């Protein structure tokens, strides 16, 4: 039998990437299925095509390469004010923060800047040619000066958390140097807002040599320290810089850890470090595959997977607003009224639950959530404020320093009550995509029970006999309102989910009658002629970037357009929301794209994503508002997912919202709710085949999109019985590990996974020049 071409991978019945191992590794059985041998490799093809390229000097965070491993991050660009004389390699770390809660989450608990290295050539920079190689998570290229060249390779090691930069200079550049510049240890918000009374930055860092390793020791006023340690090794005409960052509080153990990390890493050559690093990244990417004919959009998608894995992992802090790549920002911590939720949506469909820090953090630090509600409610309630540090602590609600959960109808003036319930929707997604009962039993159910209990303290019947909420706050709109849709929608989803979870877990909960009563008597979501309002007292009447008043549509899928009237309400609300220019931002367009995909409007979804790309996405696919933030590009990847596959409501919908221009599309290893892995191919505007592998034996209902009579076969090619549910939907029984292949009746299509041909040329991301 001839060996399969390296240009293809067979869509076999084994669940690709079924194990959710931290760090992105695959089990041996799954690796055996990704077995290209010959002339090409589909993953290598799409990843090499997606590499970012620079032939112009990047000048900002929004333009340059970025490396990371969820903890240590480095953004690379020209040194401001010395663009032709020095290249900045930022050194930042997601665990480095202050520990003075009395000054709030945005000052006293803020992430703290560490510093940067400058690569300073002998001559003046005249040209550069860099490539960020996605499949290796590595920056390579040359820097040309009027004195010679500097050839470099750089990575942030996946496992060792070390920045390694190898530089090979020509004769005229042998005298180049590295210089470390410690940053002022003060909340980045201080550059944007007045500091609280009594707040001051930490003392300056102290730099010293420690047995051949340099270290900048930053003491913290609250006790503890963070340390940047580095060493440069020379050999074979190359010079390699090794950097590590460690943080400790309240103890001062970071120095010893950082020194040991650098000494250990520096015994290895760059190639010895790079080999296991590349292998882990290769395993990461092979857990799923997506190829579409829009070359720039396909490249953007794979860059977001790279970005997510560089910024997140299960045991790392929940991503702050700019991930591990801290820059001057008014938002130097984790944000919970939209940002954290959007940052993690793409991990489900792309089959990367090993990046799910959100579920882990909510479980690990749940006791701190008790402290975020007023003392009178702590026996049975939890909440999460607008901002927290990695351990979910908000600190004091000082001016511009922190935001409490609030008591509905009382101070503080902006009670955001729904943030925890929305975050728990992400946990529910992780459960539904894995069917891991421990997530449901140990995390979702107990936390959601207490998040809903907080609402129940304030829910009361009105003269109409319906249950109503006192005034709460819809994130960022301005003004409190009774029966705020943000809260009503989350409360209704929460009660329904609790009842379903209790049934699945076999729990006879004493609160179940109350949850049913809420579902039966909760006041309808306030609407007017323009669609959904902010709340009963507050129409949607101005430009607003958030879609918090539309959560029942997306992502909760509580309102889906089942009837003509419901569909018209969604369309009217969406058009009214995006119709106000002025305050719209990038995630406005990702939300609008996903809502359009819900309605099956692929052309509209693509139009919204194209507006996002042209108006907001920066050269390196980063994103900015008043400062750097990363949730929007990551959520755009989820919008692409929503166009390719939706699995809400117990039905897997294959290619539900593709625009006409995407006549060819390939997806493989896509994780759907029910713990199914989907592979499917579309050619010439026709779905050729669909394959589903069941990891949990859950009910399998699929709207396959294949026209006319079909065959359904198992992994051995034997017919499978199925029930026709109408509307192109079938129900088939699959055991755990079983699979179903759906094709046009009588056809035996080629099941190999290959990249699709692009519709036309498109520029690479980065700064490729003309």
CATH 1.50.10.10, the chain: domain bounds: 356-566
Per the CB < 8 A criterion, the answer to whether 84 and 147 are in contact is no
Q: Is the dihedral of CA 423, 425, 430, 435 positive or negative?
A: positive
Supply the pLDDT for residue 551.
98
Q: What's the alpha-carbon Rg for the chain, to the nearest Å? A: 26
Supply the pLDDT for residue 398.
66
Angle among Cα 595, 596, 600 to the nearest 5 degrees reads 120
Mean pLDDT by 10 residues, the chain (770 residues): 36 34 29 42 97 97 97 97 94 98 95 98 97 98 98 97 98 98 97 94 98 98 98 96 98 98 98 98 98 98 98 98 96 96 98 98 97 94 95 81 80 84 98 98 98 97 97 90 97 98 98 98 98 97 93 98 98 95 91 98 98 96 90 98 98 98 98 98 97 97 96 96 95 97 95 96 93
Q: Which fold has domain 56-285?
A: Beta-galactosidase; Chain A, domain 5 (2.70.98)
Supply the pLDDT for residue 733.
96
How far is 641 from 761, CA to CA, in rounded Å? 23
Supply the pLDDT for residue 401.
66
The class that CATH gives domain 356-566 is mainly alpha
Among 728, 730, 706, CA closest to 720: 730
Other CB atoms within 10 Å distance of the CB of residue 508? 8
Supply the pLDDT for residue 403.
75
Per the CB < 8 A criterion, the answer to whether 630 and 321 are in contact is yes
> 94-119 burial by CB neighbour count: b if 16+ within 10 A, else e?
bbbbbbbbbbbbbbbbbbbbbbbbbb
The token pair at 500 is 């379903």
Q: Ramachandran region of residue 70, left (φ > 0), alpha (ψ -120 to 50) or beta?
A: left
Supply the pLDDT for residue 40.
83
How far is 338 from 319, CA to CA, in rounded Å? 12
CATH 2.70.98.50, the chain: domain bounds: 56-285
How far is 300 from 610, CA to CA, in rounded Å? 12
Residues 6+ apart with CB under 8 A from 86: 78, 79, 118, 119, 120, 121
Q: HSE of 148 in the Cβ direction (CA atoms, 13 Å)?
A: 15
How far is 115 from 129, CA to CA, in rounded Å? 25
Q: Where are the beta strands (DSSP E) in 540-675?
A: 623-624, 628-629, 645-646, 652-654, 665-672
The token pair at 82 is 């010395």
Supply the pLDDT for residue 479.
85
How far is 383 from 648, CA to CA, in rounded Å? 26
Residues 6+ apart with CB under 8 A from 602: 596, 643, 657, 658, 659, 660, 662
DSSP-assigned beta bridge partners for residue 248: 225
The token pair at 614 is 């042209």
């Amino acid at each position: 039998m001839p060996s399969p071409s390296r240009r293809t991978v067979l869509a076999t019945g084994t669940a690709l990437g079924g194990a959710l191992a931290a760090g992105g590794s695959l089990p041996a059985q799954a690796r055996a299925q990704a077995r290209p041998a010959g002339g090409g490799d589909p993953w290598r093809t799409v990843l090499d095509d997606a590499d970012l390229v620079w032939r112009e000097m990047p000048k900002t965070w929004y333009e340059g390469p970025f490396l990371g491993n969820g903890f240590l991050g480095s953004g690379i660009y020209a040194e401001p004010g010395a663009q032709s004389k020095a290249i900045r390699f930022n050194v930042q770390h997601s665990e480095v923060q202050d520990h003075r809660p009395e000054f709030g989450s945005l000052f006293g608990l803020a992430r703290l800047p560490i510093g940067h290295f400058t690569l300073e050539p002998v001559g003046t920079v005249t040209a550069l040619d860099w490539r960020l190689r996605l499949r290796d998570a590595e920056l390579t290229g040359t820097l040309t000066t009027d004195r010679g060249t500097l050839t470099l390779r750089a990575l942030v090691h996946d496992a060792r958390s070390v920045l390694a930069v190898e530089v090979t200079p020509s004769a005229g550049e042998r005298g180049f140097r590295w210089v470390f510049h410690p940053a002022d240890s003060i909340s980045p918000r201080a550059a944007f807002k007045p500091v609280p009374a009594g707040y001051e930055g930490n003392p300056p860092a102290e730099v010293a040599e420690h047995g051949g390793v340099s270290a900048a020791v930053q003491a913290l006023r609250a006790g503890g320290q963070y340390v940047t340690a580095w060493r440069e090794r020379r050999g074979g005409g190359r010079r390699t810089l090794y950097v590590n960052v460690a943080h400790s509080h309240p103890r001062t153990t970071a120095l010893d850890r950082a020194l040991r990390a650098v000494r250990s890493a520096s015994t290895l050559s760059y190639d010895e470090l790079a080999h296991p690093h590349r292998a882990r990244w290769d395993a990461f990417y092979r857990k799923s595959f997506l190829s579409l004919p829009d070359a720039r959009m396909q490249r953007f998608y794979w860059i977001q997977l790279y970005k997510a894995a560089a910024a997140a992992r299960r045991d790392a802090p929940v991503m702050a607003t700019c991930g591990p790549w801290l820059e001057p920002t008014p938002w130097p911590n984790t944000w919970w009224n939209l940002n954290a939720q959007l940052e993690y949506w793409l991990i489900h469909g792309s089959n990367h639950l090993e990046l799910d820090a959100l579920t882990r953090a909510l479980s690990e630090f749940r006791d701190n959530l008790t402290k975020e509600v007023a003392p009178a409610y702590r026996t049975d309630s939890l909440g999460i404020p607008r901002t927290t540090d990695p351990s979910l602590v908000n600190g004091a609600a000082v001016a511009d320093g922190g935001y409490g959960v609030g008591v509905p109808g009382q101070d503080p003036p902006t009670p955001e009550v729904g943030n925890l319930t929305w975050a728990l929707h992400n946990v529910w997604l992780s459960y539904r995509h894995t069917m891991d009962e421990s997530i449901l039993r140990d995390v979702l159910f107990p936390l959601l029970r207490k998040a809903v209990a907080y609402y129940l303290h304030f829910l009361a019947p009105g003269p109409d006999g319906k249950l109503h909420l006192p005034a709460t706050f819809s994130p960022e709109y301005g003004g409190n309102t009774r029966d705020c849709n943000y809260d009503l929608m989350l409360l209704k989803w929460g009660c329904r989910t609790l009842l379903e979870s209790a049934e699945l877990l076999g729990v006879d909960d004493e609160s179940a009658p109350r949850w049913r009563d809420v579902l039966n008597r909760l006041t309808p979501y306030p609407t007017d002629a323009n669609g959904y309002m902010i709340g009963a007292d507050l129409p949607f009447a101005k430009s607003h970037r958030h879609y918090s008043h539309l959560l029942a549509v997306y992502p909760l899928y509580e309102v889906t357009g089942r009837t003509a009237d419901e569909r018209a309400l969604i369309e009217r609300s969406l058009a009214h929301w995006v119709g106000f220019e002025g305050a719209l931002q990038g995630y406005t367009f990702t939300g609008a794209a996903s809502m359009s995909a819900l309605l099956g409007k692929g052309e509209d979804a693509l139009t919204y994503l194209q507006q996002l790309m042209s108006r907001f996405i920066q050269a390196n696919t980063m994103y900015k508002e008043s400062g750097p933030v990363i949730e929007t590009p990551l959520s755009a990847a989820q919008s692409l997912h929503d166009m390719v596959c939706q699995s809400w409501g117990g039905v897997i919908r294959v290619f539900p919202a593709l625009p006409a221009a995407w006549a060819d599309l390939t997806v493989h290893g896509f994780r759907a709710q029910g713990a199914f892995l989907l592979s499917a191919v579309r050619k010439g505007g026709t779905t050729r085949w669909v394959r589903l592998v069941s990891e949990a034996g859950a009910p399998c209902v699929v709207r396959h999109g294949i026209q006319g009579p079909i065959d359904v076969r198992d992994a051995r090619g034997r017919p499978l019985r199925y029930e026709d549910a109408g509307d192109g939907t079938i129900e088939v029984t699959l055991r755990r590990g079983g699979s179903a292949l759906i094709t046009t009746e009588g056809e035996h299509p080629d099941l190999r996974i290959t990249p699709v041909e692009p519709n036309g040329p498109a520029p690479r991301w980065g700064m490729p020049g003309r």
